[in-house]
Amino acid sequence: MLLLNDAGWKAMQQGHYADAERLFREAIDKGESSGDENQIFAQILNGLAEVYRLTGNYAEAELLYTRSLAIYEQLAGANSFGVAYVLNNLANLYRWQGKHADAERNYERSLRIFEGSEDAKPEDIAEVVDNLGIVYKEQGRYLEAESLVKRALAMKEKTLGPESVDIAKTLVSLADLSINQGKFAEAELLYNRSLAIFEKALGSEHDQVARTLGSLAYLYHTQRKYAEAESLYQRSLAIFEKALGSEHDDVAWTLANLASLYCVQGKFEHVEPLYNRSLEIFQKSLGLEHDLVARTLGNLAFLYGILGRNAESDAAFDRSRVIKRRNRRNADLDEAGRQNDHANKLFKHGNYQEAEACYRIALRLYETGLGPDDPKVAELYDNYAAVMRAQNGDKEAAYYAKRAKQIREMDEK
């Protein structure tokens, strides 16, 4: 079992997920046949769960993580190293599914165990700190997120070499936060540094390379460098499809981002197939009631409205609104208001790029806390259109103004 386990982890780290699944499966069969459900067996279960998480089989991944966790707790205790390790991976799964409260709870428990364990290395602690920072970022808690990510980077830099993949992952987190603060030049440097590390360590066709290319594409998208963004989205998509298959969530995300890129340029003829394929993948992997399904339906509703297909637009918008209202969760609306007010002041003083970043944060928080059809969301779209117009982004301004108008029209029906 041990040799199969080691080979499985090596294959997974190289992005050879089918080989990793086969090796872990063989190891599990041997363990179950012999009845030897020890800590090595728990590690094998955790390994197969990681394969399933990375390839989008979330239900199977959760079952395996839970089984692995139970074995570690029974054999080594609730505060053992193995428990903390699996909790971190389980939290990653929840974060990928948008279950932020579950992710945060498991990250925090993992961190408490690691910090109290003599077996934990600094990089183990740093990994969880970094992941907790990411989940804070995804909830709009940017100051807390930045503090954690910088703490994680400092810890990793003390113990790992400058070409470490783990350091590259934290650089990506820091770059994401830089975008949210309008620090685009800093973000570009961080993405390119991490990309060079990933390509050297993992190869140019690894899915981690594709994720970083997608992040860099989004940065160029935000900066209205559309040709560069399109090229990187296309390259990212090709790698994802080859590495993970055509029905993985990362494929759906990239399709949706590419569709959005075409929308803001007014290239609507390219958009519908991309959103429809993205919607199909999200519905299959995440379920019919997930926030990403609602978001994609909302984007389709807007597209149908632009194309004059009003009945389809109304139906898609209504379905999106029902899902969003059902899934509406807590968000820091006070922070959204502060970001909006700060953006208005920046806009008034001609600091358009910084204003744009603040409007983007406020918009995300309002959509999360109030739903996609709230008047506050329409107001933010108007503000976003104004800051685009001030930067000579007339096509983008028209796009966001239309989105605001659509929300108000749907609210009147």
Task: Please state, for a pLDDT cut of 90, what percent of the chain lies above it.
Answer: 63
Question: In one letter, which amino acid is 364?
Answer: R
Mean pLDDT of 184-194: 96
With respect to residue 147, please indicate whether it lies within any of the assigned structural domains.
no
Nearest one of 47, 41, 51 to 17, comparing CA atoms: 51
The residue from 78, 104, 120 where one domain ends is: 120
Answer with the one of 81, 102, 120 that is the final residue of a domain: 120
Q: Is the pLDDT of residue 330 over 80?
A: no
Number of structural domains found in the chain: 2
Q: Is residue 19 part of a domain?
A: yes
Cα gap 308→152, rounded to integer Å: 50
pTM over 0.75: yes
Instruction: Tell the residue number behind the tokens 């900066």, with chain if given.
Output: 223
Q: What is the pLDDT of residue 1?
A: 79
Asked if residue 377 is part of any domain, the answer here is yes
292/212 Cα distance (integer angstroms): 21
Tell which wins on pLDDT, 257 or 391: 257
How high is the pLDDT of residue 332? 67
Determine phi and psi for 139, rounding to 5 degrees: -95, 5
Note the pLDDT of residue 138: 84
For residue 2, tell me if it sits in a domain: yes
* Residue that is last in its domain, among 100, 120, 140: 120
Residue 70 lies in a domain: yes
**What are 248-252's contacts with CB under 8 Å, separation 24+?**
248/55, 248/56, 248/281, 248/285, 249/56, 249/96, 249/281, 249/282, 249/285, 249/286, 250/56, 250/207, 250/210, 250/211, 250/214, 251/281, 252/277, 252/278, 252/279, 252/281, 252/282, 252/285, 252/292
**Residue 86 falls inside a structural domain:** yes
Does residue 210 lie within any of the structural domains? no
The mean-pLDDT minimum among 257-261, 294-298, 332-336 falls in 332-336
Residues with Cβ within 8 Å of 255's Cβ and at least 6 positions away in sequence, in order, are 237, 274, 275, 277, 278, 281
| Residue range(s) defining the domain that contains residue 14 | 1-120
C-alpha 80: how far from chain center: 29
CATH number for the domain including 388? Answer: 1.25.40.10
Question: Which is higher by pLDDT, 15 or 171?
Answer: 171
Q: Is residue 1 part of a domain?
A: yes
Lowest mean pLDDT among 89-93, 240-244, 334-338: 334-338
